Every structure is written in structure tokens, then in C-alpha cells.
Chain A
Amino acid sequence: MASGKESTAIDTLDIQGVSVQIEDRHLLQDINLTLKPGEVVSVLGPNGAGKSTLMKVISGERKPSSGEVLLNGRNDWPLNHQALMLGVLPQSSSLSFPFTAEEVVLLGRIPCASHHDENLMITREALNKVDGLHLKDRHYTTLSGGERQRVHMARVLAQIWDESPHGKRYLLLDEPTSALDPAHQQLTLKMARQEADQGIGVMVIMHDLNLAARYSDRIVILKNGKMAAEGTPHQVLTPKTIGQVFDIEVSVSEHPAYHCPLVVNH
């Protein structure tokens, strides 16, 4: 049932009053959030705050108990159309068959109607973006955790590589940096930033407050399934908010090199 609200903009990913309830446990409560093309929104929050559940609701994997998610104004896209607009990187993938890294990334091109040679070219460029071109002939099963994460990142990039005829494109990344070394963490978020600069809306779940501060336009903090804070990094990353949500004591100063907050643990 599409919403008749006139406030709905067409070119956004619009989360409207989403709640998820299992028996008497509220996983998400009345989440309202809009992701616009061209911006990076980070979702922070303690373990069990509902971040991944929110991701699943947005990707359509899980039906919300109430509320709805409108992708470019609609909540009833055919799956193969949605796949051209919405790339989803899950936290971890279980792939136990010996595809090469290149073949894994090529799987991302399944929803696209392009020719094999073009797919192969895009696959290599996507692998290059995640610093994974040298992995292309390695078997996936022999890759390390961080290398696998980068290969899947490339797969999702390849999936929404082309402009979609159906509307703007969005990228949902669930802890894309969890298994990465510091250099590749920076690389991944820089790349997310670049994707956003090309008109893609990017939503990233992560735990590193300083990475979020540096690369996000907006930060959303979830706690116990509710929105605890939302705003620019400067608005959200304050000692008070961080103390309330994460139960840690921090100091926040201005980053010496970038125009963003710098969070230091006590």
C-alpha cells in the first residue's frame, strides 16, 4: 500500500515511521529517516541497537510491523528493478564454493542487462576501487576476512555501477570496515564518499566514531531501537550524547587536519 502523503519526495530513500516488533520486543520503534542521493549517512549505536534490523527493513528482507520504506517514491518495486537501484553489503557472507574473486564480483552484474565484456571491464574497475585487482584470480575460499569483505564491496559496487532507468541509486553498507586494516578502512570510506559525490546515496553502519565523523554528512545514532540522535557530526558527536548512548566518557575536540570533530576516549 503506497503512501498517499504529499510530503514524499521522489528521489530519496524514505524511511517512514518504521517499527519492528517480535512478540513484545521492540527491535525498532518509529524510525523516520531520509537518505538523499549524494550524501553519506552513518548509523552508529551499541550492539543490539537495531542497526542491522533497520538495514534489513530498508532492503526489503524484513517486513516492518508498521511504517514503510519508499525507494524513489515506491515501496512495490519488482526485485530485479530494485536490484539496479539498491546495493546491499551484508555484514558477512557465507560462500564455500571456490569461485575466483573476479567471478564473485561478476555475480554483482546479474541484474544488469549488459554484455559479458562490459561486465568484465566493470568488474575489474570495481576490484581496482577496493584495492583488490591483484586478487582477481585467487579463489574466494583462500582469501582473508578483510580481502573477502573488499571483494563483496566490489561486487556491490559493480551491481549499481550504471545509472538506473528506474531512479536514483543507493548503497547500504553494514559494517564494511569491520575486518579491515586501518589503511583499507580509510580507503573504503573514501570510496563511499566518492560514490556519494557521483550522486549515490550511501548509508553506512559502523562503530568507529572518528571515521564516521570524518566521512559522513549526517550521523544517526540508534539505541534500543529508537533514534537517539540525528544531525551533522558536529551536532551529534558531543561528549553528552556519546556518554548517554555508549556509556563511555570522551572528550571531543576539533580535528587538527580536517573540519570535523575528533573523539578521544578517556
Chain B
Amino acid sequence: MSRNQQGALLLTALAILLPVVVIVSIGVGAVPIPAGDILAILFDRLGFSGSPELVGSPELIQSSISSQSALIIESIRLPRTLLGLIVGGSLAVAGASMQGLFRNPLADPSIIGVSSGAALGAGIAIVLGSLLFAGASSLVQSYSVSILAFAGGVLSTWLVYKVGTTSNGTSVATMLLAGVAINALAGAGMGMLNYVADDNMLRNLTFWQMGSLGGATWDLVIICATLLVPVILMLGRYGLVLNALLLGESEARHLGIDVQKVKLILIFLTALAVGVSVSVSGVIGFVGLVVPHLIRLAIGPDHRVLLPASAMLGGILLLAADMISRTIVAPAELPIGIVTALMGAPFFLSLLWQQRKRIV
């Protein structure tokens, strides 16, 4: 079987798996909901039964269990699942793009400091937001966390890229070291914010640093979908360009690609993807690193398959991690960042173990 066929097969398999995982994710929780009920409620909500009513359609109102299920799905499980899908997909696509852009399979939004920069931005907004945005409009105030998280993400991406780039190209070693420095700096900044924060702010800060999809509301889902779905789709169109970039920047230029422009676009899009993801769900590590690796193991480094497959698998794995985080210590909830780190870090170590002979 050629790699092209393998790629098509993988994309098909993921496209089938994705809705299944979505249904399971909606069904799993303190009140389990059977798949049949979920489908009936979802179809009803989407208007397939012809009823314009939201929850109170005649079929559903027949049993009180169904209307309770509908309420759980609508106000809790569905927004949370959609948020997980979008955030997981964004992080994985951003990771794949960054690994391609930096020509290094170990580049990842959290390793090179983008996530911690975004978290610091979010932290500043949480703790100092009332001071910083005192005179701003209510619109800016309500989005201040997202805005500063995005700014933090962009700023740290730019800094890492700038430090790592000379006229000879981008040095990955320098870039990773710059990432270590930014992680440390952001950690110190977070420490200071912790120090001055009150109890309520502290809880919020802890939430950002460990990640959670628990804050999912329809407002967040809509903001995320409007910003991130276009980003995922746009990044998905850079498959061929990223393939060419793997050869080297001057080689890509010889192949007719405006490398400088493409680099700026890719950095902007990945920073947007990571910044927005972190701003709504906190720091969720390892998704961006591990997912593209899993796909590459299966079908090789062709970004035309890698990008869409990473988006789907990222969504699937984050939903799986979220199900674990919701159920493993129920009725309490384990922050999802802990789950992804517990799953991802051993995988990352095994990668290093396999590659250590080649890295030297």
C-alpha cells in the first residue's frame, strides 16, 4: 500500500472515529446518557424533527429523563465537547505547523514557551485586569483574558523566533534554549501574580496553569469557533508549503515559495491558535507535540495529510483526556493538563529514547 493510500485510509478512519468519540464524550459523566438519546436530542436541536422549540418538543417532553438529559447535553456536555474538539484540533495543528516550520520534530508550543507566555498574559489579565482595563469598554473587559493571552503567545513566539534566527537561518538549539528561558520567565511572572493575588484570583490562576475544559460555555465555544476553525482551515492549506520548507528555507525559495511571507503567516496563525486555546482552556501540554508524531509514525511527514489528520486526532485525544479527567476522581475533576502530561510525557520520553542515538 502506498503512502498516499495509507494517508487516505487514515483520514477516513479518523473522520469516522471523530463523531463516535463526540457521542461517547457527551454520554460519559455523572449521569450517563445512552447514545440513542443523544442522537435524538441532537437531531431535534438541529431541527431535523421539524420542531422549532429548543427543549420542549413533544417527543422529548414525554419523559422527564429525556428532558433532563437534554438540559445536561445542551448546557454542559455539548459546549464542553465542542470546546475540547476545537482546542485539541488547534493545539495539534499548531504543533504540526511549528514542527514543520522549525524543521524539528521536537518543537511544540509548550516547549518553546508559547503556552507559558500566553498563560502569563492570561494571568496578568486575571490578577491585574481590573487595574489595566479600568477605563476600557465592557467589550474589552470581558475579553481581556483572551486578548492578553493572545498577546502573550504572540510576543513569546516572536521573541523565540527572533533570538533563534540569524542570517544563516533559524537555529533550533538556540530556539529551544530561548524557550527554556521564556518558560522560566513566565514561571517567575506567574509566581509573582500568585503572590499578590487574592483567593478568588488564585483559584483562577491555578486553573489556567493546569488546564481545564470545565469553563466551557456557549459564549466561549462561539468565540473559539469563529477564531480557531478558520485558523485550522487556513493552516491546513499550507501542507505543500510546509513540505517544501522541510528541505530548507533557500530550497523552498527556489521552489517558488515566498518564504519570509509564509513564515510570518504561519507564526501568526500558530500563535493565534495557541493563544486563543490557552485563553479558554489554560495550558494543556503535549497535545501539540505528541499528536503530529503519532500521525507521522503512521503515514510519514507529508503535511497535506499530517495537518488535517493532526487536527482530527488532536480533537479526539483531547476529548479522551477530558473524559478521563471527568471520571477518574468523580464527582471531583482532575485538571486536563495533568492527564495530557501523564499520557504525553512518557510518550515523549520514549521518543527521546528511540532517537537518542541519532541526536548524540
Q: How far is the CB of B7 from chain A (nearest CB, A)?
A: 11
Which residues of chain A are near B250, meaning CB under 8 Å? 56, 59, 61, 88, 90
- B248 touches which one: A59, A93, A108 (CB < 8 A)? A93
Tell whether B255 is near chain A: CB-to-CB under 8 Å. Answer: yes
A97 to B244, CA, bound (A): 12
Chain A residues contacting B243 (CB-CB under 8 Å) are: 99, 107, 110
8 Å CB contacts to A: which residues of B240-255? Answer: 240, 243-244, 246-248, 250-251, 253-255
Task: List CB contacts (< 8 Å) of A74-112 with chain B.
Answer: 79-84, 86-88, 90, 93-100, 103-104, 107-108, 110-111
Q: How far is the CB of B5 from chain A (nearest CB, A)?
A: 13
> Which of B248, B255, B301 sits near A98, CB closer than 8 Å?
B301
Decide: A59 and B246 in contact? CB cutoff 8 A.
no
B286, chain A: closest CB distance, angstroms: 20
- B243's nearest neighbour on chain A, judged by CB, is A107
Contact (Cβ within 8 A) A86 B254: yes
Find residues 279-304 in chain B having any chain A CB closer than 8 Å to their own CB: 296, 300-302
Say whether A159 faces chain B, with CB atoms less than 8 Å apart: yes
Is B71 an interface position by the 8 A CB rule?
Answer: no
Interface string of B251-278 (1 = CB under 8 A from A): 1011111100000000000000000000
Query: Does B327 sit within 8 A of A, measured CB to CB?
Result: no
B189 is an interface residue with CB less than 8 A from chain A: no
Cβ of B105 under 8 Å from chain A? yes
Which residue of chain A lies nearest to B301 when distances are taken between CB atoms in the complex? A97
What's the least CB distance linking A29 to chain B, in Å? 21
The answer to whether residues A100 and B300 also contact, given A90-B250, A95-B248, A110-B240 and a CB cut-off of 8 A, is yes
- CA A95 – CA B252 in complex, angstroms? 12
Chain A CB within 8 A of B174 CB: no
A residues contacting the other copy or chain, number (CB 8 A)? 29
Q: How far is the CA of A88 from the CA of B240 in the complex (A)?
A: 19
Shortest distance between the CB of A251 and any CB in chain B (Å): 40
Tell me if B104 is interfacial: C-beta within 8 Å of chain A.
yes
Q: In the bound complex, how far is the Cα of B103 from the Cα of A99, in angstroms?
A: 13
Kindly list chain B residues whose C-beta atoms are within 8 Å of the C-beta of A87: 254
Please state if A97 and B105 are interface contacts (CB–CB under 8 Å).
Answer: yes
Given A98-B301, A99-B301, A82 contacting B247 (CB threshold 8 A): no
Q: Are B253 and A96 in contact (CB under 8 A)?
A: no
Of A60, A80, A93, A96, which one neighbours B251 at CB under 8 angstroms? A93
Residues on the A chain within 8 Å of B300, using CB: 98-100, 103
Contacts of B248 in A (CB 8 A): 90, 93-95
Contact A110 B244 (CB under 8 A): yes
Residues of B near A94 (CB, < 8 A) are 103, 248
Contact yes or no, B255 A108, CB < 8 A: yes
A107 is contacted by which of B3, B104, B105, B244 (Cβ under 8 Å)?
A: B244
CB distance from B117 to the nearest CB of A (A): 26
B302–A103 CB distance below 8 A: yes
A99 and B256 contact, CB distance less than 8 A: no
Binary CB contact string for chain A from 39 to 83 against chain B (1 if under 8 A, 0 otherwise): 000000000000000001001110000000000000000011111
In the assembled complex, the Cα of A88 lies from the Cα of B258 at a distance in Å of 16
Chain B: interface residue total (CB-CB under 8 A): 22
Asked whether B254 lies within 8 Å of A88 as measured between CB atoms, the reply is yes
Chain B residue with Cβ nearest A92? B248
Interface centre among B247, B250, B257, B301, by most chain A C-beta atoms within 10 angstroms, is B247
The answer to whether A79 touches B251, judged by C-beta atoms less than 8 angstroms apart, is no
Q: Which residues of B contact A80 (CB under 8 A)?
A: 256-257
A104 proximity list for chain B (CB < 8 A): 247
Report whether A79 and B256 are in contact in the complex, using a CB–CB cutoff of 8 Å: yes
Neighbour of A111 across the interface among B3, B247, B256, B258, CB < 8 A: B256
In the complex, what's the smallest C-beta–C-beta distance from B265 to chain A, in angstroms? 15
Q: How far is the CB of A170 from chain B (nearest CB, A)?
A: 12
- B-chain residues with CB within 8 Å of residue A90 when the two chains form the complex: 248, 250-251
Give the residue name and chain of the B residue nearest to A78 (CB). Answer: B256
Knowing A96-B103, A99-B246, A103-B3, say if A159 contacts B255 (CB, 8 Å). Answer: yes
Residue in contact with B255 in the complex, picked from A56, A60, A83, A100, CB distance below 8 Å:
A83
A residues less than 8 Å from B251 (CB atoms): 88, 90, 93
Contact with B along A213-257 (1 / 0, CB 8 A): 000000000000000000000000000000000000000000000
Chain B nearest CB: distance from A69 CB in Å? 14
Complex Cα–Cα for A81 and B248 (A):
20
Q: In the assembled complex, how far is the CB of residue B73 from the closest CB belonging to chain A, in whole angstroms?
A: 42
Query: Is the Cβ of B247 less than 8 Å from the Cβ of A83?
Result: no
For A61, list chain B residues within 8 Å (CB).
Answer: 250, 253-254
Write the A126-152 contact mask toward B (1 if CB under 8 angstroms, else 0).
Answer: 000000000000000000000000000
Cα separation A108 to B240 with both chains bound (whole Å): 11
Q: How far does the alpha carbon of A8 sit from the alpha carbon of B250 in the complex, in Å? A: 28
- A100–B254 Cα distance when bound, in Å, is 21
Q: Which residue of B lies closest to A106 (CB)?
A: B243
Cα-based distance from A100 to B243 in the complex (angstroms): 12
Given A100-B3, A103-B302, answer yes or no on A93-B255 (Cβ-Cβ < 8 Å).
no
CA distance A33 to B258 in the complex (A): 27
The residues of A that contact B258 with a CB separation of less than 8 Å are 79
A130 → B minimal CB distance (Å): 17
Q: What 4 A-B pairs are tightest by C-beta distance, nearest first?
A: A83-B256, A80-B256, A97-B301, A111-B256
B-to-A contact residues, CB < 8 Å: 3, 103-105, 240, 243-244, 246-248, 250-251, 253-258, 296, 300-302
17 A-B pairs in the complex with CB atoms less than 8 angstroms apart: A61-B250, A81-B256, A88-B250, A90-B251, A95-B247, A96-B103, A97-B246, A98-B301, A99-B300, A103-B300, A104-B247, A107-B243, A110-B244, A110-B255, A110-B257, A111-B255, A159-B254
